[in-house]
Each structure stands twice: as C-alpha cells, then as structure tokens.
Chains A and B, each alone.
Chain A
C-alpha cells in the first residue's frame, strides 16, 4: 500500500484525533482524501499532532512510520 494509505491505516488504529500538518495545512490523518490534499512529496517536512487517550502512542508510532521511509513497502515508491 502507498505511504499515505499506511499513514491513514495506522491512524485509524487509534481512537484519538490525529492531524498531519504541512505548513499552514492541517488535515485529518485518518482520511486518505485529506492526506492527499497535502500534496506532500518525498522530502517535505510534516508534523503530527494528536489529542485524546492514546495520543502519545499515536504520535510516536506515526512519526516512526514516516521517518522509516515506509519500509513496509515492498518496492521503492514515491513518498506520496
């Protein structure tokens, strides 16, 4: 699955609200549509915000996923 799909899938496994931020754009991490509208390509700076019961775990796991360059992917894919 593509990187954004992985992010959304991971985000969906938490119950807290999670947002991914790029510059002035802040979108729902659980929505593939919203993530797509960030227009994020490989190399751009993203931050992750979360609030709720499992917020800490959500942030650390999502950051780890993004920083891993999406190792779960079988072949190198553009990081969008």
Chain B
C-alpha cells in the first residue's frame, strides 16, 4: 500500500482499478494469471522480448548505415538491456508467481528505472528513460490489439496521468471514469476546474508517483482530502468503502436542500455565487443553487485555440452564461493571463518576464494591448443588454491603473455609441483585490469602484511571497495566516465605509472552515467552486451572525496560522457535526 498526498480539487471518494495514461496510453490488464497459463504466458513473453530485440537490432543497423557507429552504439546498449539475464530471470520469476507478463515486465523494469533515478545524477536518470522506452516497446508487443484508449472504455476506471489536458478532462466519460489523479497541476489549473464541474473526485499535484504504478492496481482517490492510495490493504479499503457511501448519502441530502433559502439561522441572507471558466458550466452551476456567477474567468477563450478570440466569440460565450442566470448577476473578469500563456502572435510581442507572477500579466497585459482589451470590453457591454452583467478588472495594483482601465471602457462606450451598436451603458465596474497594495489602499479605491472582490489565492501568494506550486515553500501558503485576516478586514472595513459590496471569490471561501470567519468579518457574499455550494449553504443555515462575529473576533486574536486554522476547524465541527462525518 502506498499513500500519496496532493491537492484536493474535486470532492468525493472513488475506488476502482487504475488506468495509467501516458503520452502513449497503455492499460495493463488483469495482473493474475492461472497456474495452467504460466507456460503459455512465459512463451508469450519470450516471443515479445525476441521481437523487441529484433526491433532494436533493426534500429541499430539503420543508425549505423545512416549516422555512423557512435549512434548505433546507443542501440547496442539497448539491446544489451533487452538481453539482460538478470532482467529476464526476474520477469520470468514474477510470471511463474502467476502475474501477467505485462504486469511483470512493467514492474521489474520500473523498479530498475526507479533505482537509477534514486541514485541521482543526470546520466543515470537518462538511462532510466531508456528503461521506460524498453518497457513501452515490450508492452506494445504484449498488448498488441488489446491496447486500450481512453475513448473506448467499457468498464469503470480511475485515470492516473502525469497531466490531463483540459480537452482530455472535458472528454472523460463520466460513466466509466470514476475519478482521476495527476502528478502536476494546482488548484486553479484548468483540469482541476473541469474536474469540479464533472463532479468526479480528483486530486492533482501529487508529484511523481506513476513510476510506482503498473496500471493494474486498485486505487483509492479521496478528492475531499487530496489523498491517493495505491494498492490499499483490506482495512484501508473497508474504511474508504464506508466513506464513499457516506459521501454519496450526504450529497443526496445536501442536494435535496437546494431550494431552502440561503440565510443564517437569524435570517440574514448570504449570497452564494459560483466561479466558472466555461460557458457550459453555467447551467450545472445554477442547478447546484448558485445565485449568479461571481467570477467568470474568461481565459479559456484565449487558451482554447491558437488565435485571438473575436468579439463575436466573447459575445456568444457571455450570452450563454447570462441565459443560465436571467435574474442574477454575472461578473465577468477581464483577461487574467500572463504573457507566457498568450497565443502565438501576442506571445512574441511580449517576451516572457523574469518572474511571470510579477511581470506583464492580467490587467497589465490588457492595458499594454488595448486592441485585445477593447475587443473583450465591447463584447461585454453588448452582452450586458441581455442580463445583469458586471465587469471586473483583475490584479489592479494602483489607482492609476484602475482609472486607466475605466478610461478604456469609456472609449469603448463612445465607439459603440458612434457606431450605433446596441449595448448597455451603466454596467457596474469592480476590481479584484488580490495585490497587497490594493488592500492597503482599499479606502481610496472604494471611492471609485462599484464593488470589490477579494481574490484570496493571489492575495495570499503576494502577501506571503510564496508560490504554492513550489513544493519547497508551499507550507507557507496558509489561508488562516493572521496577515491575510488583517488584509481582509481592511478591505471589508473600506467597503462598509463607502457602502460598496465586497465578496470573496478565492479558494478560501470554498472551504467551509473559513465561512463563519468571513461572515463574522462582515462578508455577505461569496463566490465559490460550484460543487461546494450545497455544503456552504448548510453551514450558513446553521450559523447566526452573533456566533459568526464571536468566531471572527476570537480568530483575530491568534498570531500564527496554525492556531487560527485549528480554532476554525474546531468551531466548524461544533457547528456542523454531520458534515464532519467524512473526516
């Protein structure tokens, strides 16, 4: 049994057989063979190995003829590996112990590769690549026609991959893919966002673990806690079966309460909205009980294809979201990308910064690229005719920047007017508060903006100077850090003083633990990952303002993140014991 930790991005528990997805996709079938099949499987393995050797010899000949002896030598080494007696013996031993040749070969080769990687040094890690290559060749021959593709699943699996592209994720067949785990990725990666939308348990950012998995093991993915268990022991398996059943019954209970009003026990309404990225998420988000879209990330429009999106692309996407929410606000955040992620032509115009997080990104990119910015704003103003659309600028750092962005919007309004294009004039314009300078200057900003939205993910990153994706410093990234609480308090105070709405749209508001604190600090509006909405509404219904304020006051007294979080955890447990059954 192996337990791995990653980032929990989509809650729930999934248990099932692993399906390994590589750049070349092999799925290793049943790992156990019958005693009577051993001889047959042994000879099947030897035939495959012989073919691999022939393949390599062929390549060696080609290399010698075309490139010379030195290059051919690479293949001679491969051939020696394939003919290695130790290797052969270990694989055959495993087959004699009733393991399938696919599993045996993969297992033995991966063990060698892993040992080489563990020894360190560039040369040895490169040799491990040769070993993986040998594994691939063998598997391709052993599996032959039986090689399975993600698109042709016929039985339930848990998908394990180094990374899944958004399109791969979007195309996962929910009938057969019970959950997935990836080695890379973070909370805000597209894959994570899509997993939430698909409502399948998912864990990302697990780190290197695929080399230990042959693809035939039983896997547990606990998407609520970010845990992946490979080859669980019977006790662990039993424990998770119980959790799986509890989770499903809780889902049913929470979904049945969808129509209940979203207000605290003492009758104060709290608005819970959804964060989405794709227009297609809008409808499911409404079904989860969202009172509008508090954060519509528009980046997919830029990342989906290799060209810059047209005004019409934007317009159609916005209208689709507005259609799902005819009576609720839809807050469109303008482009929030770094120049490093821009499509072709634009990327060339903006060389990658030294530190992308502190470089030309987000509103800075928009302001340096007015044509791109104006295209998006035109579409937004036009779409605003069809619902309660609002515009939000990301990463605002200085007042001047906000004024500039507003001026561009003014220009676009003039253009539309001159051209006689129908649009809505008085669209509310807000900003993300996610740079510490904006939080510190919130009092000034509040005079000029129509609303604030606290983007806690970036606010934490910039306040604590930590990139959460960097394993070396990720421990510093704590939502409960007292400095973050103080930042939030400043922003809420400024908003209250000037009578503008303030919401929280970062990951922090998606965690039920922080909700009592936020409400106690005066937050009345949050925007969260859609799947979390039913759970958060339940917390809200159990809460009273008086209790929330007490919790907030007490939480502000601690001086380290750990104490804050332990306290909030304890309070949530007392408030909603039945939610905690899952922990």
Contacts and interface: CB of A to CB of B under 8 A. Distances in A.
B123 A32 contact: no
Contacts of A39: 119-121, 124
A75 B70 contact: yes
B124 A80 contact: yes
Given A36-B127, A39-B121, A75-B70, A31 B76 contact: no
A33 B80 CA distance: 9
A75 B73 CA distance: 12
A52 to B, nearest CB: 15
A21 B81 CA distance: 20
B119 A31 contact: no
B116 interface: yes
B77 interface: yes
Given A39-B124, A80-B124, A30 B85 contact: yes
A67 interface: no
A36 B116 contact: yes
Contacts of B77: 1-2, 5, 32
Question: Helix, strand, loop or mixed for chain B's interface?
Answer: helix
B110 to A, nearest CB: 12
Contacts of B70: 74-75
Contacts of A34: 86
B87 interface: yes
A1 B81 CA distance: 13
Interface residues of B, number: 21
Contact of B73 (A2, A30, A32, A36): A2
A8 B123 CA distance: 18
A32 B80 contact: yes
Contact of B80 (A5, A28, A37, A78): A5
A11 to B, nearest CB: 10
A37 B115 contact: yes
A9 interface: yes
Best-surrounded residue of B81, B84, B87 (most CB of chain A within 10 A): B84
Given A1-B73, A2-B77, A74-B70, A33 B124 contact: no
B82 to A, nearest CB: 10
B76 A5 contact: yes
Interface string B53-80: 0000000000000000110010011001
Interface string A32-63: 11101101010000000000000000000000
Contact of B86 (A2, A28, A41, A74): A28
Given A31-B84, A74-B70, A75-B70, A36 B124 contact: yes
Given A2-B73, A74-B70, A75-B70, A37 B116 contact: yes
Contacts of A75: 70
Contacts, number: 49
B100 to A, nearest CB: 21
A41 B127 CA distance: 14
Interface residues of A, number: 19
Main secondary structure of the interface of A (DSSP, over half): loop
A80 B120 CA distance: 13
A33 B105 CA distance: 14
Given A1-B76, A5-B76, A33 B119 contact: no
A44 to B, nearest CB: 12
A3 B274 CA distance: 61
A78 B123 contact: yes
A75 B70 CA distance: 9
B85 A28 contact: yes
B112 interface: yes
Interface string A1-36: 110010011000000000000000000101111101
| Best-surrounded residue of B77, B80, B81, B86 (most CB of chain A within 10 A) | B80
A37 B112 contact: yes
Contacts of A1: 73, 76-77
Interface in B366-406: none
Contacts of B81: 32-33
B84 A33 contact: yes
A80 B123 contact: yes
Nearest to A4: B77
Interface in B99-151: 112, 115-116, 119-121, 123-124, 127, 131
Contacts of A33: 81, 84, 86-87, 112, 131
Q: Which of A34, A74, A78 has the most CB of B within 10 A?
A: A34
A35 to B, nearest CB: 10
Contacts of B120: 39
A80 B124 CA distance: 9
A32 B84 contact: yes
Contacts of A74: 69-70
A36 B119 CA distance: 10
Contacts of B85: 28, 30-31
A36 B111 CA distance: 13
A37 B84 contact: no
Contacts of A36: 112, 116, 124, 127
Contacts of B123: 78, 80
Contacts of A32: 77, 80-81, 84
A74 B69 CA distance: 10
Contact of B119 (A8, A30, A37): A37
A33 B135 CA distance: 14
Contacts of B87: 31, 33
A9 B80 contact: yes
5 contacts: A5-B76, A9-B80, A31-B84, A41-B121, A75-B70
Given A5-B73, A36-B112, 17 more contacts: A1-B73, A1-B76, A2-B77, A5-B77, A5-B80, A28-B86, A31-B84, A31-B86, A32-B77, A32-B80, A33-B86, A33-B112, A36-B127, A39-B119, A39-B120, A39-B121, A39-B124
- 8 shortest A-B CB distances, which residue pairs? A31-B86, A39-B119, A32-B80, A1-B73, A5-B77, A31-B84, A37-B115, A33-B84
